[in-house]
Structures are given as structure tokens and as C-alpha cells.
Structure 1
Amino acid sequence: MKVICDRGALVESLNLVGGVVVARTPKPVLACVKLTATEDLLTLAGTDLEVAVRLSTPRVEVQEVGEALVPADKLQQIVRESTDPTLTIETDQDVARITGQDSKFKIFGHPPADFPPIPEFKGDPDFEISAADLHRLIAMTIFATARENSRYAINGVLLERDGKKLAMVATDGHRLALARGTCKTSDEAGRSAIVPTKALNLLLRLFDDAEQTVKIKIADNQILFQTDEALLASNLVEGNFPPYNDVIPKEGDKKATLDTDVFVSAVRRAALLTNEESKGVRMAFSDDGLTLSSRAPEMGEAEVSVPVPQYQGDAIEIGFNPGYLLDALKVIDTGQVQFEFKAPNKPGVLRTGPNFLYVVMPVNLQ
């Protein structure tokens, strides 16, 4: 194999594929990236046996087709540190040589045949969605997934399709995020899958062109996402996702409409005087507006007042973890948000129209 690569394009491709490569593993081939040169493309592939990524770049001159299996970290470091606009990668058996204007490197690799096969996208997709819409659905839910929870089913995001309607749901037991969208499909049957957080984080980086169409296929215990340039395949999270509709409270009788930016600023300021022992912010809603307050022993107290453009219902005082609120507020792209309540010991619900809601449990206030 011999290719002359645009260094900038190669850096970008290696960063994306490197996101799935295992740094420390008893299987050396999993620490490698597979390079495949065809007539006019260089394809890079990486896998950790749970998630696999394959990415093609046309910004190469292929002088000799072939394959190579090269340690990802060293190849990334060499390409990143180079100052040359182009680099030549040439392989002889399991040895790769990277040449620039004033530098030469030789890397010992492995036989390409030892690399685990990357799943293929076979047949028609189950459905298609624009990369922009997929990004929105992922960004509005992924932050609410559990971290290292023994209930594996909530370590991922539920993707649920009913005809052309698409929903993504995430929860960690303290909050739940639900985002809705639409997709293109001729299959009216419903499908669902729990997608690992790692795969979704990679998707956000891999499919960065909002105009791209992403084809999606669920097969057995895997889900595949494909565009013209890239493919991501991931094993699904096993188990049953909690019945999330049971968690969403019915419409609350106390409703506050808030300016999103004003609310974000107020929560951030009130959170300044919280700590691990007292991380709740008290929120007092009434017809007169909203007052946020916090206190932490040996630190002090904070009080922030903001107007509420619209409020209905009796006055209420309720406490929330400010970090949980800010996680949701920073992905909301509407000018106003509605906050609903029933009682100080019942969950609050943030809504932005029909396509996003966020359920958050209250905290006890001393």
C-alpha cells in the first residue's frame, strides 16, 4: 500500500476513529487502526468489539492499493505533530513507513487479516433521518443517562420508533429526558433499541454535517448508522428500559413560563453557594415572580429574584439540584420554557412544546 494523504484530513479521520480504539488491551489488534487503500479512497476502521467505526476520506492520492494494521496512538501522534501539508504512508508486509519533507518514521504493525471484521450495512435501512435532527435528539437526552449503574439498561438511551415518529429517552433514576422527532420510513411497525452512550457520543462527532442523511438499521443485537462517508455499528444494551411513561407526571396544576436565558443565569448564580452537603437550590414560585435561594454552612447564602412572565396556580416552594436543571437548560434552543409542579415532594417537569420534556426529582430542603 502506498498513499499520499492530506495531513489535515488524516488528523481529523484519525481523531474520529481513535475515539473507539482501546488504549490498553490484551489484544494488540484492538489498539490499532486498519487502513485500506482502494483506487481513490483511504478507509480507516477501528473497533473495541462493542462499537466499530469505519470512515473514508477522498483527500488522498492512492499510488498502490492495499491494507495495513497500525497502532493508532503512534500513528495519531506522528500525523498530529507533523508540519507537512501531505504525508506519504507506505507499507511493506506489517511495517508502515510515514514520510514527510524532513522526517521518516517506521512503525511495526500487525497482519491486517487479524483485525476483527466490521459489520456491513446490508439491505434497506429501517429508517432515515437528517444528521441535524439526529444530533438534536441525542444532545437533548444523552446527558441524563446513568454512569456506571448496575442497571445496565439505563446506561444507554432508548431509541423508539413508531412509524415515522421517533423518540429518544434517557434516565439515571433522578431525572428523565424525552425528545421527539420524525424520520423517513416505509415500515409502519414499531421498533426500539437501547443504544450505548459511547456510541452516541461518537455519532455526535462522526456525523457533523447537518445536511447529511443518516441511514439506520437495527439487526439482532446491533444497530448500524451509515452515511456516504462513514459507518458506525454498535452492540445494543441488553435488558428492559424502565416504563418511562409511568414516570412522567400528568399535567401539573402549577405552571411557570420562564425566559430561558434569564432562568439559566438565575440558577447559575444561586448555585454558587451550594456544596456537596447542601447542593439544593430553593425555588419559591408565586404570582410575584421567582426567588431562588441557597445556603451552605461556612460559605454563606445566596438569593436571586427573577420575573416570571406567566404563572398559574398556588404559590409553591420546591428544591432542585441546580446541576440537573442546567444540564437540560443548556440544550434547550427555545426562548421560553415551561416548568410544571404538583407538590414540593413531587417531580417537576420542564417542557418546550411537544418535542421535549424533562422530569427532575426534587431534593429535600433543610
Structure 2
Amino acid sequence: MKFSINRDTLLPPLQQIVSVIEKKQTMPILSNVLMVIDADTLTLTGTDLEIQIVSRLAVIGAQPGAITLPARKFLDICRLLPPNTEIRIEQHDDMVKLATSRSRFSLSCLPAENYPEFAESQMENSFQIGAGKLKKALEKTMFCMANQDVRYYLNGLLLHISNNALKLVASDGHRLAIYEDALETPTGLEARIIVPRKGVQELSRLLDDSDAQLQVSFSSNHIKVAVHNSVFSAKLVDSKYPDFGKVFQQAFLPPLAIQKPLLREALTRASILANEKFRGVTFRFAADLLHINAHNPEHEEAEEELPITYGGDEFSISFNAQYMLDAVSNLDADTAELTIASNLSSCFINEPEQQTYKFIVMPMRL
């Protein structure tokens, strides 16, 4: 194997691939990046056997071959080289030489034939979507995914396709985010799949060009997303996402509109004195005023008052301050609309006259 490539061409796909590779591996070769040269095309592959990213780049002066290199060492060398440096890469037995006009490196390598194959099933379904549209949908929901929850189906994100309707749902059991949008082209599909947490995070990082058009393919247990010269693949969570529709089937109090900047700033200030473990704040709704209170075991207290239009009976309800901040910060409009269930079992946060994004927070006891 022998080829030359510009450092600025190699670095972005290499960074994307290395982010997939786990630092601690049971198989040493999984810490490596697979490099294959075929007909002036360099194919880079990185995987943890659950997620895989493959990138293809044009190279010059190429001699065919395949090898695996220590991914993080290779990345660090490329990252610290000066911009626009031309890198010459050549294999010598079980070593690979990297050379520039002023630098020389030798890296140990492992045989490409030992690199594990990422087994994929036949992709029966596919649709197209703009990268900007999908990235926005992911950013509005992914922060709600659970992390290492025993209910493993919550450690991921539900992707629901219904013809030309796209819905993304994420929940950790205490809060839930729903983002709905329309696809430009009808798909004729009706499918619900759960993309794992790490897969969602890596896919979001990959979508750095909002104008790109994505080809999304999936089966019952795999998803594949092609963007430019890269292909992202991931195993799906083999489970059924819980039915969250029941939360809508209850009586609600009239919606309460609050200026988003005022609410966000008040929550941020009040949360400073909230209990560090539970992060609880209490919303007390009175005549045309919202009182936000927080206190902690050191007997410190905070109270904020916000003007609202409310003429009903006085009541109080408590929430995790960070959950409320996450919801409010993800609204695009300047007004946040809070709709609280009559039995105080849940609170909806969304934008007035805009139902694309909904955020639901379950109350807490203080």
C-alpha cells in the first residue's frame, strides 16, 4: 500500500470515524481504523460492532492494499500537522510510514483481513431527507434519551415514518420530547424504529452540511444513512417503544403564555439555590403572577415573579429545573406556552400556534 493525501482532506472524515471507536476495546483491532486502497480511492472504516462509519476519499499515486492503523495515534498525528500538508503513506511489512516534507512517523499496524465485518441485513425501506431537517429534529429531541436505563428501549430515539410524516420521540421516563415534520416526498412507508443513543449522537455529529441530501435506508434491525462520501450504519434497538399517546388523553387547564427569555432567566437564577441532587423548583400560579421558588438543605431560598395572564384558582406544582430549562431553550419562538394537566400529572411546553415541537415534563414532589 502506498498513496499521498492532503492533511485537510483526510482530517474531517478521520475525526468522524475515530469518534465511533471506543477507547477501551476487548478486541485490539477495533481500536484501529481500516484503510483500503482500490483504484485511486481510499476507504476508511471505523466500528465498535454496533455503529460503523465508512468514508471514501480520492488519493493520488496510489498502490492498492489494505491495512489497519491505531486510530487515535493516526488522528493525533494528522491533527497536529500544519494545514495543507501533503502526507505520504507507505506500508512496510507490519509497519506503516507516514512522511511529510519535514516529519517522519512509523506506526505499527494489524492485518486488514483480521478486521471484523459489520454484519448488515438487507435494507427493505428507504427515504430521502435534508441533512438540516434531520439534524434539527435530532437536536430538539436527543437530549431526552435515557442513559443506561434498565428499560433499554429508552436508551435510544424513536423514528416514526408515516408516508410523508416524520416524528422523532425521546424520553427518559421523567420527560419526553416530540418533534414532527413533513418529508418533501411521500415514502409510502409506515415504520417505527429505535436508533440507539450512541448512534443518534454520532449521526448528529456527521450532519455538518445542512444543505446535503441524505439517503436513509433501514430494515428491522439496521439503519444506514448516506451523506456525501460517508455512510453511517447502526444496529437498531430490538424492542417496542412504549405508547406515549395516553398522556394526551386527559383534561388540561387553559394554556399559560410566558415570555421565553424571562422564564429562562428566572429558572436559571432560581436553580442556583435549588437542591443540587434533585434540582427541584416550585411553580406557584396566582392571580396574573407566576412565582418560582427554590430552596436547599442549607436553608437558602430563591423566589422569582413573572407576569402572566391567569385568573383561576391558585395552585402549585414542582419540576426539575434543568428539565424545564432544556424544554424552554429548545423553543424557537419568544413565547413559551405551558399547558398543565388538570390532575397536575404532567406539563406540556410548546410554542403558541406551533405544534412541531412538544416537550412534556412530569412533576416532582418536594
**Superposition pairs of residues 206-285 of structure 1, within 5 angstroms:** 206-248=206-248, 250=250, 252-276=252-276, 279-285=279-285
Tell me, what secondary structure is at the counterpart of 1:319?
A: strand
Tell me, what secondary structure is at the counterpart of 2:78?
A: helix
Tell me, what secondary structure is at the counterpart of 2:113?
A: helix
User: Does 2:362 correspond to 1:361?
Assistant: yes
Alpha-carbon shift at residue 43 of structure 1 (Å)? 2.5
State the alpha-carbon separation in 2 of the partners of residues 169 and 251 from structure 1: 22
Amino acid of the structure 1 residue aligned with 2:322: G
Residue in structure 1 matched with residue 350 of structure 2 by the alignment: 351
Judging changes above 3 Å, is the alpha-carbon distance between structure 1 residues 239 and 337 closer, same or farther for their aligned structure 2 residues?
A: same
RMSD: 2.2
Judging changes above 3 Å, is the alpha-carbon distance between structure 1 residues 105 and 133 closer, same or farther for their aligned structure 2 residues?
A: same
**Superposition pairs of residues 22-61 of structure 1, within 5 angstroms:** 22-58=22-58, 60-61=59-60
Paired residues of 1:339 and 1:348 also in contact (CA < 8 A): yes
Q: Which moved more, 1:60-69 or 1:154-163?
A: 60-69
Q: Deviations over 1:300-353 (max 9, x none)?
A: 111112233x44754432111001111222222222221111347411111122
State the alpha-carbon separation in 2 of the partners of residues 166 and 62 from structure 1: 45
Judging changes above 3 Å, is the alpha-carbon distance between structure 1 residues 304 and 294 closer, same or farther for their aligned structure 2 residues?
A: same
State the alpha-carbon separation in 2 of the partners of residues 54 and 307 from structure 1: 53
State the alpha-carbon separation in 1 of the partners of residues 175 and 3 from structure 2: 50
Residue in structure 2 matched with residue 80 of structure 1 by the alignment: 79
Residue in structure 2 matched with residue 190 of structure 1 by the alignment: 190
Q: Which moved more, 1:9-18 or 1:158-167?
A: 9-18
Tell me, what secondary structure is at the counterpart of 2:338?
A: strand
Q: Which moved more, 1:262-271 or 1:61-70?
A: 61-70
State the alpha-carbon separation in 1 of the partners of residues 13 and 54 from structure 2: 10
State the alpha-carbon separation in 2 of the partners of residues 275 and 22 from structure 1: 34
Q: Deviations over 1:148-177 (max 9, x none)?
A: 111111111011111110101111111111
Tell me, what secondary structure is at the counterpart of 2:154?
A: helix
Residue in structure 1 matched with residue 103 of structure 2 by the alignment: 103
User: Does 2:327 correspond to 1:328?
Assistant: yes
Paired residues of 1:254 and 1:312 also in contact (CA < 8 A): no
Residue in structure 2 matched with residue 168 of structure 1 by the alignment: 168
Tell me, what secondary structure is at the counterpart of 1:126?
A: strand
State the alpha-carbon separation in 2 of the partners of residues 215 and 125 from structure 1: 11
Amino acid of the structure 2 residue aligned with 1:364: R
Residue in structure 2 matched with residue 203 of structure 1 by the alignment: 203
Paired residues of 2:154 and 2:170 also in contact (CA < 8 A): yes
State the alpha-carbon separation in 2 of the partners of residues 102 and 121 from structure 1: 46
Tell me, what secondary structure is at the counterpart of 2:189?
A: coil
State the alpha-carbon separation in 2 of the partners of residues 254 and 267 from structure 1: 22
Amino acid of the structure 1 residue aligned with 2:292: L
Paired residues of 1:121 and 1:217 also in contact (CA < 8 A): no
Alpha-carbon shift at residue 50 of structure 1 (Å)? 0.6
Gaps of 5+ in 2: none
Q: Percent identity?
A: 28
Judging changes above 3 Å, is the alpha-carbon distance between structure 1 residues 249 and 315 closer, same or farther for their aligned structure 2 residues?
A: farther
State the alpha-carbon separation in 1 of the partners of residues 315 and 38 from structure 2: 66
Q: Which moved more, 1:182-191 or 1:256-265?
A: 182-191
Residue in structure 2 matched with residue 318 of structure 1 by the alignment: 317
Judging changes above 3 Å, is the alpha-carbon distance between structure 1 residues 298 and 49 closer, same or farther for their aligned structure 2 residues?
A: same
State the alpha-carbon separation in 2 of the partners of residues 122 and 26 from structure 1: 28
State the alpha-carbon separation in 1 of the partners of residues 60 and 52 from structure 2: 26
Amino acid of the structure 2 residue aligned with 1:324: Y
Judging changes above 3 Å, is the alpha-carbon distance between structure 1 residues 266 and 30 closer, same or farther for their aligned structure 2 residues?
A: same
Amino acid of the structure 1 residue aligned with 2:139: A
Gaps of 5+ in 1: none
Paired residues of 1:278 and 1:295 also in contact (CA < 8 A): no
Tell me, what secondary structure is at the counterpart of 2:20?
A: coil
Tell me, what secondary structure is at the counterpart of 2:43?
A: strand
Alpha-carbon shift at residue 97 of structure 1 (Å)? 1.0
Judging changes above 3 Å, is the alpha-carbon distance between structure 1 residues 277 and 20 closer, same or farther for their aligned structure 2 residues?
A: closer
Alpha-carbon shift at residue 278 of structure 1 (Å)? 5.4
User: Does 2:121 correspond to 1:131?
Assistant: no
Tell me, what secondary structure is at the counterpart of 2:110?
A: coil
**Superposition pairs of residues 144-163 of structure 1, within 5 angstroms:** 144-163=144-163
Judging changes above 3 Å, is the alpha-carbon distance between structure 1 residues 277 and 106 closer, same or farther for their aligned structure 2 residues?
A: closer
State the alpha-carbon separation in 2 of the partners of residues 157 and 197 from structure 1: 7
State the alpha-carbon separation in 2 of the partners of residues 9 and 313 from structure 1: 62
Q: Deviations over 1:70-103 (max 9, x none)?
A: 1102111221222362222122344211112222
Normalising by structure 2, we get a TM-score of: 0.92
Amino acid of the structure 1 residue aligned with 2:347: G
State the alpha-carbon separation in 2 of the partners of residues 194 and 139 from structure 1: 16
